[in-house]
Amino acid sequence: MRRAPGLSDTSSSGRRSQSPAAFGYVFPAIRGVQAHREFYVSMCPLRLIPRIFLFNEDELVPELRAQRVLNKGRIPEMARYILGNRDSYTFSALTASIDGDVRFEPLGETGDAQKLGSLQVSMHARFVINDGQHRRAAIEAAIRENPDLADETIAVVFFLDTGLERCQQMFADLNRHAIRPSTSLGVLYDHREDGAKVVKHSVLKLPLYRDLTEMERSTLSARSRKLFTLSALYTATRALLARLEDLSDEERRELATAFWDETAKLFPEWQQVLEQKLSAAEVRRDLLHTHGVVLQALGRVGNTLLREQPQAWKKSLKKLSRLDWSRSNAKLWEGRALVGGRVSKAGTHVTLTTNLIKAHLGLLLTPEEQRIEDALLRGEHAAN
């Protein structure tokens, strides 16, 4: 993109443009049509993104804004993602509206040449981001840390601004059908984050987990033949390996695999589901040890065992087989893994489930775990 003189008197959209002496921006662009309106796709150097896409609507009330208020807490993480993955980061296109005079100059008058050309935009035009303001802010922050990023590019889709109402409608339309992938699918396709790599190694290496884990969805239907979700095992494995940073990647993978393999031996129902002697639905309905709240609690308990009993953790873990995991045992599980008879995976209930398992294994509670336990005994925990 470059600044260029000489915008013509009338743009391709029919708007009156600036005088020929005015300066403007020139974007190499491809012209398209949606809903009978022209739009343009271009590539912009990252250095220009913070300059032309300004964000100054924080002080306006929602009905006068064309976009959401910037969540500044998201920016550092997104910037670190770029900086930490210089050879593999991926950002999708920004979508913006141009409020000002524009003109499209095609390369030719026939065929594809009519669609390829340059989009000339008045220097006085205003660019409003309809989708991507957090990416724009992250790009600006990342360039401050690493100026070499400035010469890289990002795709931008330009629409012509026809007023606040249209911009607000575009924002609503662009976000209405945006659905985040499930956590399980995100973990399955993530080949960068250590936790994702570790849990996939364990799941794929152990036949029981490989066959009984739902890899795409983060919830199980009543009729599902699976016992676990990948997202639940991911969360549990992160808890298992917390504060074990001194281990190598290979040691973490092997330790997680050994722990989940040993755990599976303590719950014969899991093997019976694998052998089709029991249905997964029956086990999930009647027992608690396949549910996310318990898996995460097992990860936390396992972490304590690995740190405090590195040579004897398997022996201590065997006591789990003597715990009553029946969902019908409300006296044991109500207020911990269950609230009103329903499984709860809220953070407090994960801790209270962890406390019960720790007590069964003869492990001491941390000060925070003891605080939550005391609150339960005082009857301070409301149903979540």
pTM: 0.72
8 Å CB contact between 240 and 299: yes
pLDDT at 32: 94
pLDDT at 163: 64
The residue type at 318: K
8 Å CB contact between 39 and 23: no
DSSP conformation letters of 257-307: HHHHHHHHHT-HHHHHHHTTSS-HHHHHHHBSTTSHHHHHHHHHHHHHHHH
pLDDT at 359: 94
pLDDT at 60: 41
pLDDT at 2: 36
- CA-CA distance, 7 to 122, in Å (whole number)? 7
- CA-CA distance, 61 to 59, in Å (whole number)? 7
Contacts of 288 (CB under 8 A, 6+ apart): 294, 325, 326, 327, 333, 337, 338, 343
pLDDT at 73: 87
- Tell me the pLDDT tens digit for each residue of 209-218: 999 999 999 9
Residue in this structure with the two tokens 């590019």, named with its chain if needed: 153
- Tell me the pLDDT tens digit for each residue of 275-294: 999 999 999 999 999 999 99
8 Å CB contact between 42 and 118: no
- Tell me the pLDDT tens digit for each residue of 186-230: 898 888 888 999 999 988 899 999 999 999 999 999 899 999 999
pLDDT at 45: 93
Contacts of 187 (CB under 8 A, 6+ apart): 195, 196, 199, 200, 230, 231, 234
pLDDT at 133: 86
pLDDT at 383: 43
8 Å CB contact between 42 and 96: no
* Ordered per-residue pLDDT tens for the chain, 384 residues: 333 333 333 333 333 333 433 568 899 999 999 888 899 999 999 999 988 886 555 544 444 445 556 788 889 999 999 999 999 999 999 988 888 889 999 999 888 899 999 999 988 888 888 888 889 999 999 999 999 999 999 999 999 876 666 666 766 776 676 667 889 988 988 888 889 999 999 888 999 999 999 999 999 998 999 999 999 999 999 999 999 888 898 999 999 999 999 999 999 999 999 999 999 999 999 999 999 999 999 999 999 999 999 999 999 999 999 999 999 999 999 999 999 999 998 999 999 999 999 999 999 999 999 999 999 888 765 444
